Each structure stands twice: as C-alpha cells, then as structure tokens.
Amino acid sequence: MIVCFACCFGSVPGEDPSGQSMILPRHEFYRIVMEAQVKTKEQREAEEAAIKRQKEEMMVKIHSSSIFLFGGGGGDNNNPQK
C-alpha cells in the first residue's frame, strides 16, 4: 500500500490506477504516526508519576474542603464517649 498525504504534492491525482494508494491529509498522517509510537520506559514512568501527583493533589484538595465543610480538624468529633 502506498500512502500519500495531500499537502506535500502540488497536484494530487483524482484517480489511482493501481487501486492500492491511500491519500491522507497531513494531520491524519501525523496523528497515525504519533499514535503508533511506542513510549520508552522513562516516558511511561514520567507519565505515571505525573498522574500519581495529580491524584495526590486532588485528594489533598478534597480532604481540605471536607474539613472546611464538616468542621473537622480540631477535635475528635466522632468519639462516642463524650
């Protein structure tokens, strides 16, 4: 199969005599190329660390907003022996 992307050539033929070519816009060609790349171990680890950091930041935000909403943080409000 021959893959051509339309913007590189001045004129793109309207027909393909062989019937085996596929004409792609440049953005589709690069999208396919970028999605086909295999990430290195370092890239995967960096992405995993970033996701973990984002999750931890969200948990801190959720925890601090729940303390504000429910009045926690000062004492033991759940102690049944009061």
Q: What is the pLDDT of residues 19-76, one digit of tens each?
A: 788 878 999 999 999 999 898 999 999 999 999 999 999 988 888 777 766 665 555 5
- State residue 53's pLDDT score: 96
Whether 82 has a pLDDT exceeding 60, the answer reads: no
Residue 80, in any domain of the structure: no
DSSP H helices, 1-82, are: 26-36, 41-70
- State residue 79's pLDDT score: 55
Task: Let me know whether 7 and 32 are in one domain.
Answer: yes
**Which residue, chain included where needed, has tokens 């590189």?**
8
Residue 51, in any domain of the structure: yes
Q: Which domain holds residue 23?
A: 2-36
Residue 59, in any domain of the structure: yes
- State residue 17's pLDDT score: 75
Q: Which of 25, 27, 31 is nearest to 12 (CA)?
A: 25
Task: Let me know whether 9 and 31 are in one domain.
Answer: yes
Q: Which two tokens stand for residue 78?
A: 């759940």
Residue 66, in any domain of the structure: yes
Task: Let me know whether 44 and 66 are in one domain.
Answer: yes
Domain count, the chain: 2
- pTM (predicted TM-score): 0.42
Residue 82, in any domain of the structure: no
